[in-house]
Structure 1
């Protein structure tokens, strides 16, 4: 059955296979958001880890994008994407379930946390590259913006519920056993994905083409494209400082602001509330002001709210952290919907995996570096100082966009024109 035959009307939700993809993404994201609360709490509360040790844990979660990000795209382009998605979910489920088992046996250590973070990060590299490359096989070109908007809405909805659920599960079950929710989420996601009927065309064989040449082709495609270069630079800066925040926010909220796990979960849900609002507004905003303008206006309008993060204090003053998170992540999601949809429309199918992997390498590869810097600053000057550096960094995100041709465009150029 062709994508065109499946897709009727303007809503991607009319497509059964897209609904399965969306359902799997939603369930796995809820589990992931529980882990966002529970995993660092295992380190901070159960294992008494220092701020640099918690930052190293964040770095381990994202190090795979730097280590295998580029070759992963070439490997994905040689395979059908759906089996890659299912296998990645199963690997992540197996890795996550090992933590509560080790805690139950009294054998849990920081070394195991680092290994699980690294393994799940590697599986996530393959999942994310294949996921973004598979969507054009399910939806026609005119459905990609709506499809990406629906996926962002699901992700943001999960981010609203997940941290609060994670905080509650940590208080009821303890941090290690709350991680079972993530393992279950990955398993359910794999089951949804197995139900998808759409089969991609087999990838074009490339006999005698070395992996290095395929990687270089994807890298050259991104670096030679004027819009993709700018998107990579801005997103890389944003992710660098986002990783700084992730690496120190649990220590900051627990040890500086003195928040209990349940309240910490609700505090982290604030960013997801902003992200959900951004997903719902992304399409209307792009239609009103133009897709190109949306890409640079979103971080310009919302980035300055980041300075409220380090201004948060104990008691009622903690709300400033939530306000900043909601505003910044509203802009981040609006930005992402606009630029990801353009990338999928721009790239020929045979290069989708490598294009997405190259951008993942460039923009997610900055995250372990940001996490390590966050830990170093927190260890030397305290968590609040690290949050100040992070806030200042968010003011730099729109600079590459404002210095590019995007600032003079209303809509992005057609693929043939660039």
Structure 2
């Protein structure tokens, strides 16, 4: 969300940021709307000031027993009073129109974000490990053609998409026995790592939120079709970013309280309205999935540093799972609506022979804070100023399950359990076909 005053004072920079995102300049039209808003406010204020002045003049006229003048002034007051609702409606309409326009504009990208139209403009930032070699090393020994996760899961008899379709339709899955336990183990392992090693505060948030919360993190109004409505008053959360970030909405924190770091393991729900025909096989893109979310609330001067820290936290869980991945800096045309800068972590999937996103870590500046009215005061009492917000996946549980299954598959179709997950699997080191 933007401050129209900032746009008025920085119109050229504002339009330049939009151009980098592939959008047309908007400062002129927005400032024209703001002029209309200011004129409407001025008219309403002038009318109210005139009514106040007339009231005093009526008192003087009555005191002077000038009944004719008093009646004339009363008639003018009545006319102003009658015109009041129309002036208020004009002001309200002008304010709402400007607010709606501002709410639909994406965040400004940082200057160091690479320019590009789509994912082809993303730039590799770093990578960890190497792709497992077919027939060599400690992984995929004897596996000449690595299978995809759904082939492995269905062959093991512990991953069923047909049963899920009977229950709920497409883009759902039923996991059972050891694969269900592996899925749970991954989530618990990630949550424990972020709480015990990275210092995040564990939160168990609501899974349904109101319109204001969805607006605060910018899922509404632009991405309404990608969400699941729950009755008239609530939405199912598309990610725990929504409730975690909104924990500081409409509040004024002290600088000593910052940074605030939250994490949660929750189900997530997405309509995937814009993904028709994409990733229809398997678990890569589902309507319901689990994710460990990371959210940070910081002072403005600390947000870039916090972004790198959050990325390192997300990377750490993949390093512990000994998975090969790369980190990509998203270009201006591929990063999210609320983001100033985003890193995507893409894990290597031998079955697909490609990298797939498993985590996305974004710094949003004060974009969400303005929508939530989340502020802080400095140690010396100055402010309040808007906080900066960050969010990231630490990581997506279902995609981590896919990565483990494909990277730890064996020639006989079984799946080895990563060392980090063995304690969460009651000591089991291998998942084999159900008896």
Q: Which has the higher contact order (CA 8 A, sep 6+)?
A: 1
- Which structure features the higher share of helix residues? 1
- Which structure features the higher share of strand residues? 2
- TM-score range normalised by the length of the shorter chain: under 0.3
Normalization by structure 2: what TM-score?
Answer: 0.24
Larger radius of gyration: 2
Normalization by structure 1: what TM-score?
Answer: 0.24
